[in-house]
Amino acid sequence: LTATATAMALSLSAGGAFAACDDGEIVVKFSHVTNTDKHPKGIAASLLEQRVNDEMDGTMCMEVYPNSTLYNDNKVLEAMLQGDVQLAAPSLSKFEQFTKQFRLFDLPFMFKDIEAVDAFQASETGQAMLDSMQRRGLQGLAYWHNGMKQMSANVPLIEPSDAEGLKFRVQSSDVLVAQMEAIGGSPQKMAFSEVYGALQQGVVDGQENTWSNIYGKKFFEVQDGVTETNHGVIDYLVVTNIDWLNGLDEDVREQFLTIVNEVTQTRNSESAKVNQEAKQAIIDAGGEVRELTPEQREKWVEAMKPVWEQFKDDVGQETIDAAQAINA
């Protein structure tokens, strides 16, 4: 360990502290932006780290840097191409510089729930998308679930018109910009690590995210309430540098990929539960959670769905049809 890494390991509190790598071990730095606990990605990353370090001891060593301590999502893919980090799991919304295919996942009301997202990802079309950035040097290894997004602001959001004139933080995705504009909001792209401060200081009025992110980063504490819209999804692509992956000995690569796949299976089946627990934790902490009647929700669908038309050439009508067939 370098002095910096040692200092970082010491400064990381619960979870996330990594094992010291021995000389000769292949070091896999995994940089991500969320909490380590009570979070689908954080838990999966810690499990992956533990399994690699237990089962591949002497060959490979993983160091997980959570909470944007190493890179935020806007920098991590560049760092990966430079060889400074080997693994990341940015949300599917954060690949715009590399592919337009993932825009499918940002289209509002595309998937009715996380099971539909899972089925699409497992389909031939979904699996082919893992390989869509090979020419740009990136290889998708797996999809990790977070869950469905909810809306929050510093005023109650019951109908889309309540969002008119409000400033919303969005991830770095043009689809999400268009979605917020469709409800009369004024969207602002911003790194995840800056959202809490921006909400607290009124730089933005609202945001959209999953229960586990709204709970984990305490957004609910600086919002009027959270409205259960389930209008979109945040899922992740576990991604690596293709040259790095191809440079591994075949048996090492196979063992590593097997562990990634097993962790994916184990943790994806728990993601909905982790989010439900986060929702309950928000309520227990005194956060306001608002449900919509079917009529109210339909108004959000009507307001947001025209965004599909804008991006259908990027995504491809066949891909949209494939996703919709799964939803039926």
Query: Do β-strands 87-88 and 233-241 pair in parallel, antiparallel, or remain unpaired?
Result: antiparallel
> Which positions from 203 through 262 interact with ligand LMR, judged by CB under 6 A?
209, 213, 234
Binding mask 126-155 for ligand LMR (x = CB under 6 A): --------------------x---------
Spatial separation of the C-alpha atoms in residues 48 and 54, rounded to whole Å: 10
Spatial separation of the C-alpha atoms in residues 156 and 289, rounded to whole Å: 10
How far apart are CB 20 and ligand LMR at their closest, in Å? 27
Spatial separation of the C-alpha atoms in residues 9 and 3, rounded to whole Å: 10
- Total residues interacting with ligand LMR, rule: CB under 6 A: 9
How far apart are CB 234 and ligand LMR at their closest, in Å? 5
Classify residue 71 as exposed, middle or buried by CB count within 10 Å of its CB (0-12, 13-18, 19+): buried
Compare residues 21 and 89 and give the one whose CB is closer to ligand LMR: 89
> Which positions from 29 through 58 interact with ligand LMR, judged by CB under 6 A?
33-34
Which one, of 282, 186, 264, lies nearest residue 228 by Cα?
A: 282
Please measure the distance between the N-terminal and C-terminal CA atoms of the chain and give it in whole angstroms. Answer: 52
Spatial separation of the C-alpha atoms in residues 176 and 306, rounded to whole Å: 13
Applying CB under 6 A, among 86, 139, 171, 229 the residue interacting with ligand LMR is 171
> Which positions from 273 through 312 interact with ligand LMR, judged by CB under 6 A?
none
Compare residues 68 and 101 and give the one whose CB is closer to ligand LMR: 68
Compare residues 121 and 213 and give the one whose CB is closer to ligand LMR: 213
Spatial separation of the C-alpha atoms in residues 148 and 138, rounded to whole Å: 26
How far apart are CB 256 and ligand LMR at their closest, in Å? 22
How far apart are CB 192 and ligand LMR at their closest, in Å? 3
Residues of this chain that bind ligand LMR (CB under 6 A): 33-34, 91, 146, 171, 192, 209, 213, 234
